[in-house]
Amino acid sequence: MNEEMKQLAAAFGAKSTTEDVLAGIDLKNKRYLITGVSSGMGIEIARSLVAHGAEVVGTARNLAKAEEATGQVRTAAETSSGSFDVIALDLADLESVRTSADKLVADGGAFDAIIANAGIMATPFERTRDGFENQFATNYLGHFLFVNRIASLIREGGRLVTVSSNGHRWADIDLEDPNFEKRAYDPWDSYGAAKTAVVLFAVEFDRRYRDRGIRATSLMPGVANTGLGQHLTQEDLAALIERTERENAAADLPPSEFKTIPQVAATSVWAAVAADGDEIGGHYCQDCQVVPIDDTPGLRSAVMSYAVDPERAKLLWTKSEELVGEHF
């Protein structure tokens, strides 16, 4: 990255949009994979990349829903030199994960970055067909298996971007009981733990692949009305807002601010395209910047130390291999 691009990257912040991040950047002959393109942030990430000439492959559990939801992405592809395709992928079903990954590997198309964007939040307790707790499986374990199976497709100098949340500050991953088999289920503990696992995955993936020039990072996109909270009742939403504002007030932090969809998608696009790989590799980002480690209470722009602990990252990797029955 030249000095001018470094200065531009440093200028991005909480209000930056996907178009701000990609201003003046031609992505012709660049190829990206984005999980979860049937709603919210995934649609905008795909649209912005395609609009700048990129080839984008998106994944969705429901292809009919994705087809209906991504009209603006296809329109952007028609007016640029980019392209857009969607493949079926159910991250909560390991058979689906393996089938989708195998098809991509057989196709052989390389990617400049994989953006592990798909996720669910605070869902009622449910086990997947493979026996895993649903949030852990969808937000983390499915991505772990999928990304590792297609890791050979990431180009030298490429990126893995995993979408986490400041909700990781609510819970560490329980390596002895990640699927709530021995303890009472709490939807927010599960969500926080799964998002912690997402950060740890990027830490260990970065360690394993940096010698190939591939860097991995995780991030907090920000808060926006993306459809992520579709499982929450109005009472649940009110309780969530009350909890976050109470925690912020106790930590002497300002109230949380909502972002627009282009703003909430900006950090993912920045990390995949515009950021310096050596600066973001193995780190946690927010508002288009690397943020520090800070265990002080409150939903601050920082990452908890347990989420970037390299030893815990290695332990989680080993545990995940045991759960999926594959070694990478």
Q: How far is residue 123 CA from its own chain's centroid?
A: 18
Catalytic residues: 191
Rounded Cα distance between 258 and 54, Å, is 28
Rounded Cα distance between 30 and 46, Å, is 13
Strand order of the β-sheet with 289-290 is 83-88, 55-60, 31-35, 111-116, 154-163, 215-220, 284-286, 289-290
Helices (H), 108-157: 134-135, 142-149
Q: Which of 177, 207, 208 minimizes the C-alpha distance to 193? A: 177
Cβ pair 275, 158 in contact under 8 A: no
Helices (H), 79-133: 94-107
Cβ pair 122, 192 in contact under 8 A: no
